[in-house]
């Protein structure tokens, strides 16, 4: 049982995180106003112990991942992060020190990304720890990047490196036995602390024709773009960028390429546009790689180095 109780937690741990419009969390709701000429971009995600994180992480790491996976959604739509609400379902035996450390993790991410808390709710439960955050961002009216908009002739780009999330989960569970300690640590960190590409999302406004973040898996998220844009897509496996850890793991276990393109949890951006799109957004200083192209038709084709189609389930992660 928590020593401070619900209102003590709010007073001591959560109220210091609140924005001005949250009124120190003393009211039933909060207010938020976008800047003139902007509209709100809103997203929500939940992380559950044993599903979205292993359970051996430090509370600060859990808080970080909760906010960062939501921030990635804002980045995908070109949004500037502003604020968030938080719902916590905590085990009955959780200690005050754990909650304090979790809130310190929230404070660290607020400082990193310029956001603040608007409110939320907390309950105790006999079940696993569960956290939900709703993020609020803003974007100039009509400039949000959507999954719809890709056209035949567009090129497909990704940020950063792909597969680190899925491989990092395997590394964290000790399932990549051939991986050296340094690469195992790097991949695990990528799984536990994704990097939302906020600056790239801002640069893509008005330049990308469509986009989303890679949470369900590279092929699955490209499929989401293709489906709503009523087009097909071709992805070349050899062009998918890998980290040093990803390259090491793939060399040791060649069949891991399936995990890399379907595993999810990368929280990089995948987007479409003209051939010179990378040049247009270089101000973001985020590495960008062209991995394929949009075609007429439907579905996503994955090609090997011989340009032969690889048969693989592109559905990616499903929530149920």
CA distances from 74 to 143, 267, 290 (A): 13, 11, 22
**Residue 299: predicted pLDDT:** 94
Tell me how far CA of residue 136 lies from CA of 67, 80, 277, 312, in angstroms.
11, 9, 27, 36
Residue 223 has pLDDT above 50, yes or no: yes
What per-residue confidence (pLDDT) applies to 55? 84
Mean pLDDT of 289-314: 92
Residue 170 pLDDT > 70 = yes
pLDDT at 127 over 90: no
* Average pLDDT estimate for 131-136: 97
Q: Is the pLDDT of residue 158 over 70?
A: yes
What pLDDT was estimated at residue 314?
67
Predicted TM-score (pTM) of this structure: 0.94
Average the pLDDT over 207-217 and give the result: 97
List domains and CATH numbers for the chain: 5-140 (3.30.1330.10), 155-310 (3.90.650.10)
Across 292-301, average pLDDT: 96
State the average pLDDT over residues 207-219.
Answer: 97
* pLDDT exceeds cutoff 50 at 319: no
Above 80 in pLDDT, residue 186?
A: yes
Could you tell me if 177 and 247 are in contact, meaning their C-beta atoms sit under 8 angstroms apart? no
Do residues 209 and 275 lie in contact, with contact meaning Cβ atoms separated by under 8 Å?
no
Q: In residues, how long is the chain?
A: 320
Q: How confident is the model at residue 311 (pLDDT cuts 50, 70, 90)?
A: confident
> What mean pLDDT value characterizes the chain?
94
Q: What is the pLDDT of residue 137?
A: 98
- When comparing pLDDT for 320 and 80, which is higher? 80
Q: What are the tens digits of pLDDT across the range 137-157?
A: 999 999 999 999 999 999 999
Task: Give the start-end residues of each E strand in the chain.
Answer: 38-48, 80-91, 116-125, 130-140, 155-159, 210-213, 232-236, 269-273, 288-295, 300-303, 309-310
The answer, yes or no, to whether residue 305 has pLDDT greater than 70, is: yes
Q: What's the pLDDT score for residue 315? A: 63
- Does residue 317 surpass a pLDDT of 60? no
pLDDT at 93: 87
Q: Is the pLDDT at 77 greater than 50, yes or no?
A: yes
- Which has the higher per-residue pLDDT, 104 or 54? 104
The DSSP bridge pattern shows strands 80-91 and 130-140 to be antiparallel
């Amino acid at each position: 049982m928590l020593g401070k109780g619900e209102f003590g937690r709010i007073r001591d741990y959560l109220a210091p995180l609140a924005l001005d419009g949250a009124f120190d969390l003393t009211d039933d709701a909060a207010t938020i106003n976008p800047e003139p000429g902007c509209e709100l971009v809103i997203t929500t995600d939940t992380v559950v112990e044993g599903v979205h994180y292993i359970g051996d992480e430090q509370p600060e790491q859990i808080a970080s991942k909760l906010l960062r996976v939501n921030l990635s959604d804002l980045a995908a739509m070109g949004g500037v992060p502003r604020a968030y609400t938080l719902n916590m379902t905590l085990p009955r035996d959780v200690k005050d020190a754990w909650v304090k450390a979790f809130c310190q993790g929230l404070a660290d991410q607020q400082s990193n990304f310029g956001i603040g808390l608007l409110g939320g709710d907390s309950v105790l439960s006999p079940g696993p720890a569960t956290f939900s955050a709703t993020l609020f961002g803003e974007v100039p009216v009509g400039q949000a990047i959507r999954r719809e908009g890709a056209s035949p002739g567009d090129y497909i780009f990704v940020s950063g490196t792909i597969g680190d999330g899925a491989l990092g989960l395997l590394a964290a569970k000790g399932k990549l036995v051939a991986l050296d300690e340094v690469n195992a640590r790097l991949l695990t960190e990528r799984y536990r602390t994704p990097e939302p590409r906020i600056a790239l999302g801002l640069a893509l406004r008005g330049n990308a024709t469509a986009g989303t973040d890679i949470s369900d898996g590279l092929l699955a998220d490209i499929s989401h773009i293709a489906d709503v844009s009523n087009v097909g897509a071709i992805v070349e496996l050899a062009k998918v960028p890998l980290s040093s850890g990803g390259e090491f793991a793939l060399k040791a276990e060649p069949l891991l390429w399936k995990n890399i393109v379907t595993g999810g949890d990368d929280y990089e951006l995948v987007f479409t546009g003209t051939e010179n799109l990378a040049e247009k957004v270089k101000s973001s200083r985020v590495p960008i790689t062209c991995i394929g192209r949009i075609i007429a038709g439907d579905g996503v084709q994955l090609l090997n180095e011989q340009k032969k189609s690889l048969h693989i389930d592109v559905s990616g992660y499903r929530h149920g």
